[in-house]
Amino acid sequence: MLKRLIAVFAAAIVVIAAAGAWWATRVPASPFDRASQASPGATEAPEATVARGAYVARQADCVACHTTEGGASFAGGLAMGTPIGAIYTTNITPDRETGIGSYSLAEFDNAVRRGVARDGHRLYPAMPYPSYAKMTDEDVQALYGYFMKRVTPVRQENRASDIPWPLNMRWPLAFWNIPFYDGHPYVADTSRSAQWNRGAYLVQGAGHCGSCHTPRGLAMQERALDQGSAAYLSGALLDGWYAPSLRNDPNTGLGRWSESEIVSYLRTGRNVHGVVFGSMLEAFNNSTQHLSEEDLGAMAHYLKSLPGDPERDGKPWSYQAAPARTGSPSNGEKIYAARCAYCHGVDGRGRGQWISPLAGASSVLSKENASTINITLNGSGRVVQAGTPDSYRMPPLRQLLSDGEIADVLTYVRGAWGNGAPAVTPEDVAKLRRTTNPSSDEVIILQMR
């Protein structure tokens, strides 16, 4: 009897192991499998489809991750930090040897929407395929046509990750997909308007807004992929910045923004509440300003439907003028008057929509201080609208102010004009000064919260 039980148990282990091996190495089915029986890389996409693909590429902001500073577009090589080592984006130009020129439509689809490369290895979810899975077949086919017919081939070998063995094995990602990857295209909510559904499709899918604005769990997964969870787009730390809530939180989200103000921000890079900076600067320069007014309106409409969380966000902010001083100004106030007031105003209200206010700004009101420290240390990049760089930008103060001085001035800003945000410590500044040093080769580690 015992021998029989051992034999049954051993057989079960073999079956489970075989099933696991099959699951880990299988190539998912694509709706384009039959269409891809033609030679790999061939596409007969008409010009209208290719033009649509170019627009989808703007929605997905492919160029931001697959291009290095000064490098060829889409040739890859951008370093992305993870807690276990850096990974590098791949060459997605149609070069047949080092890029995706030999990919069939089905193989392209599997990479974009399922995270499986042509040779069967799994892609790290830094590639937002859980979001791209929501894209329609038509958009994926158009995107393929664009890359194969419009993008210039570049011969550039892909760089292996810095993740050590055995952590660099890809097959476990097949099992990561089981709890964290839905894999189904977007399904319209028939109880909502066409505008709402279009916005949801863009935000959840090609726009992959949750990749930055949704907090992540211990397995580096986004804690939610749609509005079914209050965690979706509720704000997250990422690469030395805090991507704010895109929900209707009045202090740290979009609660005080109208739909038209959201559209203005995405189309021009600014509105009366703020100016794009940090990682959002790349999203604006490469993506949102190129989208149609109709699509931007749909995205704004969808975002305004997401409720805020009063318990998380606290009492709604209201402006409070500085009381009459009875003693000497604090060191932070002195530094603000000398370094900040000319642009941002003595009253913290900024200069219209050209220079952002600090009074009531979501980045200032947030409990997370990463964005305010980062931009004070390193300044902001240039907003480039319609090919023209903006004249206004935040200068870096890294070389001009000490950790203590930056902590003092930010503590003043975060406490003035009714802001009421927690103080900043010199230790907070020192940490970000070290990890965001532009002269360092160290790759910033993805923060997972």
Of the residues 112, 135, 153, the one at which a domain ends: 153
Q: What is the CATH number of the domain that holds 426?
A: 1.10.760.10
In-domain check, residue 382: yes
Has residue 170 been placed in a domain? Answer: no
290 marked ligand binding residue? no
**Residue 219's pLDDT band (cuts 50, 70, 90):** confident
The reply to whether 188 falls in a domain is no
Task: Summarize pLDDT for 353-399 with one digit per residue, the tens.
Answer: 789 999 999 999 999 999 999 999 999 988 888 777 777 789 999 99
Rounded to the nearest integer, the mean pLDDT of the chain is 89
Which residue range is the domain that position 69 belongs to? 30-36+45-153
Q: Is 344 annotated as a binding residue?
A: yes
Torsion 381-386-388-392 (CA) sign: negative
Tell me if 212 is assigned to a ligand binding site.
yes
Q: Is residue 121 part of a domain?
A: yes
Q: Which of 153, 172, 187 is the last residue of a domain?
A: 153
Output the domain CATH number for residue 139: 1.10.760
Q: Determine the pLDDT at residue 35.
A: 60
Query: How many domains does one find in the chain?
Result: 2
Does the annotation list 340 as a binding residue? yes
19 inside domain: no
Tell me, yes or no, whether 182 lies in a domain. Answer: no
Which amino acid, residue 424? V
Tell whether 121 is in a known binding site.
Answer: no
Tell me if 359 is assigned to some domain: yes
For the entire predicted model, the pTM comes to: 0.90
Q: Report the candidate in 239, 291, 240, 242 with the shortest Cα–Cα distance to residue 265.
A: 291
343 is in an annotated binding site: yes
| Residue 304 belongs to some domain of the structure | no
* String of DSSP letters for 411-427: HHHHHSTT--PPP--HH
For 141-194, write each residue's pLDDT tens digit. 999 999 999 999 999 999 999 989 888 888 899 989 999 999 899 999 999 999
d(CA 374, CA 362): 15
| Domain end among 153, 168, 200 | 153
pLDDT in tens, 273-313: 999 999 999 999 999 999 999 999 999 999 999 999 998 88
The whole-number pLDDT of residue 3 equals 54
Q: How confident is the model at residue 94 (pLDDT cuts 50, 70, 90)?
A: very high
The predicted structure's pLDDT at residue 422? 96
Predicted local confidence at residue 201, as pLDDT: 99
- pLDDT of 391: 73
Tell me the pLDDT band of 107, cut-offs 50, 70 and 90.
very high
| pLDDT the model gives residue 100 | 98
pLDDT computed for residue 445 by the predictor: 58
DSSP state of 219: T
Cα distances (angstroms) measured from residue 149 to each of 31, 49, 143, 337: 21, 11, 10, 55
